[in-house]
Structure 1
Amino acid sequence: MTKHDHHIGAALRRELGDWRLWWSRAIVMSFAAAAGLTVVGFTWLTEQALALFSGWRDIRPWLPLLWTPACTAAIVWVTRRYAPGTAGSGIPQVMASLDSAVDAGHRGLFVSLRLAVAKICLTAWGLLAGLSLGREGPCVQIAAGVMLAARRWLPHRSSVTDHGLLVAGGAAGIAAAFNTPLAGVMFAIEELSRTPEQRNSGLIVAAIVLAGLIAVSISGNGTYFGIIHVSDVGWPLLLPGLLVAVSSGLAGGLFSRLLVISLGGRSRDWFSRMRQRRPVLFAGLCGLAVAAIGLATAGATFGSGYSHTRDMLAGTDSTPAVYVLFKFIATWLTTWSGVPAGIFAPSLAIGAALGNDVALLLHYPNAPTLIALGMAGFLAAATQAPLTSFIIVMEMVDGHEMVLSLMACALAASVISRVLSHPLYPSLAKLQLMRLGPPADPDRTDHAAAPPRG
């Protein structure tokens, strides 16, 4: 037997003889499947909630003026009283839980199975209220909470860490929400995994892909907004595409800057002071403004914007050009109110409308092409995650010739956004870390950890 054969035999014995290794793999994959199923159930629940709201609005068009502000105030009260860790998107919470300053005892402030259940209920309630929010960011926190629950079942000396479970869960949420496993993997690389674990990277990727495949097998192989059919891409696209990239970069950068400033609490304007002193009342006023905008646009700005985006792609939507502005404001107010809310789907809707407006302005014959560019550009600018944004939209496009155009638009819009705003999710993650309390005084001899709040 050669030395090489001896090494192969030793590797096989080590691989097949360690029961802890195989038990860890089985646990991780089982919880990845559970995370995928949870996201599928959450998706169904949010769709039913928004359908109920739409049905009620059809019967009583004035109802949102009462229902939406009342629900918004109630959601914020419940969130602050019982589950403060669920406020906002959910992505900053997962990023905060991955910070080296957060130990296992404090991680439950940001991600846990209890918070995942609360996030499901409160986000669905927000769509039942007609607020302009998405479910994809919440899916990240929900799936991460499910995956983190696997740690109690892992062997004591398992090489799978909390960091690996959180990265796998957060990315699995994106993969299952959009039916795009590749986007989930890229999201893990681009946003979550700052210090990748080489030893378990294959297992983490497998868990992400499995969660996405679970969603595909149940929801079907269709993409989030269906298939975007584009014609041949050539030089005539250069000027319209450049206009979409610049406008989506500017709009997305402004959107990100507004969120960072308004949610940061450092502004001293009257609205920010009121949000700090009377958060429930402020939430109710935000809900009233969202309801008024929804009524002014004949209901176009209510919900995630999913149906209007599909109609735009199909060429059957008659939404006016001001939809971009109104959806922008409604989404910002919804997020500012403090309810659990994601921005992915509304950002895609805003970007789609922006691309559609450019197509109408320039009389471009193939509007879905510019709509796709607008979706990738605005999402990349708002989140400053261009690769994830590009892949999400890429998997909706029927035509490989547009791949480079989508990538260029997402990268250009992200660069423009970085001039206008700090990265959104890292900035919000820093705000989440403030919930740990002030750092310990290094001159003191007792370094007791700050007790968790909320």
Structure 2
Amino acid sequence: MKGEPDFLQNLRDEMGGGRQWLDRAVVIVYAVLAGLAVVAFTLLAEGAFALYSGLRSGWWWAPLVWTPALTALVVWAIRRWAPGAAGSGVPQVLTALDPATPLRERSRFVSLRLSLVKMVAVSGGVLAGLSIGRQGPSVQVAAGVMLHARRWLSPNSGITHRELLVAGGAAGIAAAFNTPLGGIVFAIEELSRRLQDRNSGLMLAAIVIAGLVAVSAFGNLSYFGRVRAEALSWSLFLPGALVAVGCGLLGGLMSRLMLASFIGLPDRFCAYRRKRPVTFAAICGFAVAVIAVISDGTAVGGGHEHTKVMLEQVGTPGASHQPLVFTGLKFVASWLSSWAGVPGGLFGPSLSIGAGVGADVAWLLDSPHGAALIALGMCGFLAAVTQTPITAMIIVMEMTDGHSMVLSLMACALLASLISRMISRPLYSTMSQLMMRSMRDGVTAAPPSPGEGSAPGR
């Protein structure tokens, strides 16, 4: 029939294009390199936090000196040598993806050099003992590695800068969380609403390969461990709804605070920050250090260690989780760490804060579904802060055994995201719009993400 595919001709076209296969091989090799970069980033950040933990355990007062000093040093170095490495990394990738961004300007937001600087700077913030994560920065790190592949591709490859950026950013999420499916959904929901049909399979393969590299390095386990939810019943409905509402309100508040901190308000704090950003960073670092001393270190770092402890001890007498206290301290520490201007992400702290909300509701209502509520909290708060409910649901779902919570996670993510949208504009896309505006106005330094670092001079 006319119009039907010609199998033999298509096979000859596929097998006969040697340069086409070479281009595909280049993309696959860079996908492996992107995964390895995130693995190296993970090991570097975890090693930094281990050093900080050893310092804090040896001298309880050490963070009061160490944290503000190192926070100021990181902010000073980033502002001086690599302002494009500030922030979380997701808004930078979104800005580089914007069709209005000229090709010559994309290196201000995403490049191999910025990827290397980002890894060191975020690890410096972790070494300082701030409440930051590495998952958001992994998006910029992997995108910078993948974008570097463009120089080795043929002009007729059909693989664009945009496709490499989308694949790299999503590969960063896939490798950071050991969730390849989560990376694919993130590419669709946050980074790009479309992929070219011609190369969509190759780009998806690159995302999966980067995720598999992380799985090969760390095993098929999530960064936050494995959530094992018991058999669910209708008794989960009321506490689950409270978790979703609480996460929506707190997540919306966090997003709004981040945006306000980035834009700058007409108050004395923002005025002082604009005048003396390094000193302001030291003050924020000291406040985070005080929180570290009060919480015995549980409210700083990415938060995954305390989250694992909560999951292990849920429902047992004498659990180390302090109801309401941990959640509040972690919330404030994460906001101050971002306001200080140190590069760092919100994904990890958001999951930790959400886990605290779930544990708090389980404690308040004496619910037997502690593990399930913690999983719902992680999903709800991440969805509320990022306003990407499908990505949040998929990431947390891949951290649970079985599929018994799929509908519950989906409902919680959607409700929390809806409530957050009533309180705050979308965090990452709004930051990207502000970066585009600054670029058009001729600002020389690329501003970072609002909630995860602030723009130089703002």
**TM-score under structure 2 length normalisation:** 0.94
Q: Residue 361 of structure 1 aligns to a residue in which SS?
A: helix
Q: How does 1:239-278 map to 2 (within 5 A)?
A: 239-265=238-264, 267-278=265-276
Measured after TM superposition, the shift of residue 430 of structure 1 is: 1.7
Q: Residue 252 of structure 1 aligns to a residue in which SS?
A: helix
Q: Do residues 325 (structure 1) and 328 (structure 2) align?
A: yes
Q: Do residues 186 (structure 1) and 190 (structure 2) align?
A: no
- Unpaired stretches in structure 2, ≥5 consecutive residues: 447-458
Note closer, same or farther for the CA distance 1:435–1:20 as it changes in structure 2 (3 Å cut): farther
Contact 1:148 1:169 in 2 (8 A): yes
AA matched with 2:287:
A
Contact 1:264 1:428 in 2 (8 A): no
In the TM superposition, structure 1's runs of 4+ consecutive aligned residues that sit over 6 Å from their partners are: 2-6
Measured after TM superposition, the shift of residue 451 of structure 1 is: 8.6
Of stretches 41-50 and 191-200 in structure 1, the one that deviates more from structure 2 is: 191-200
CA distance in 2, matches of 1:186, 1:195: 12
Of stretches 38-47 and 4-13 in structure 1, the one that deviates more from structure 2 is: 4-13
Contact 1:290 1:334 in 2 (8 A): yes
Partner in structure 2 of residue 67 of structure 1: 66
Partner in structure 2 of residue 353 of structure 1: 356
Q: Deviations over 1:82-129 (max 9, x none)?
A: 110111100000000001111110000000000000000000011100
Q: How does 1:187-266 map to 2 (within 5 A)?
A: 187-265=186-264
Partner in structure 1 of residue 429 of structure 2: 426
Measured after TM superposition, the shift of residue 33 of structure 1 is: 0.4
Q: How does 1:284-363 map to 2 (within 5 A)?
A: 284-315=282-313, 317-321=319-323, 322-363=325-366
CA distance in 2, matches of 1:407, 1:24: 38
Q: How does 1:437-448 map to 2 (within 5 A)?
A: 437-438=440-441
Q: Do residues 385 (structure 1) and 388 (structure 2) align?
A: yes
Q: Residue 222 of structure 1 aligns to a residue in which SS?
A: coil
Partner in structure 2 of residue 45 of structure 1: 44
CA distance in 1, matches of 2:330, 2:5: 65
Measured after TM superposition, the shift of residue 13 of structure 1 is: 2.0
- Unpaired stretches in structure 1, ≥5 consecutive residues: 439-449
CA distance in 1, matches of 2:418, 2:445: 37
Give the paired residue count: 441
CA distance in 2, matches of 1:85, 1:77: 13
Measured after TM superposition, the shift of residue 3 of structure 1 is: 6.3
Contact 2:174 2:207 in 1 (8 A): yes
Measured after TM superposition, the shift of residue 432 of structure 1 is: 2.2
Partner in structure 2 of residue 406 of structure 1: 409
Partner in structure 2 of residue 161 of structure 1: 160
Measured after TM superposition, the shift of residue 40 of structure 1 is: 0.5
Q: How does 1:5-84 map to 2 (within 5 A)?
A: 7-84=6-83
CA RMSD of aligned residues (A): 1.5
Note closer, same or farther for the CA distance 1:71–1:451 as it changes in structure 2 (3 Å cut): closer
Q: Deviations over 1:203-259 (max 9, x none)?
A: 110000000011101111112222211111111011011111111111101111110
Measured after TM superposition, the shift of residue 5 of structure 1 is: 8.5
**TM-score under structure 1 length normalisation:** 0.95
AA matched with 2:424:
S
Measured after TM superposition, the shift of residue 7 of structure 1 is: 2.4
Note closer, same or farther for the CA distance 1:80–1:55 as it changes in structure 2 (3 Å cut): same
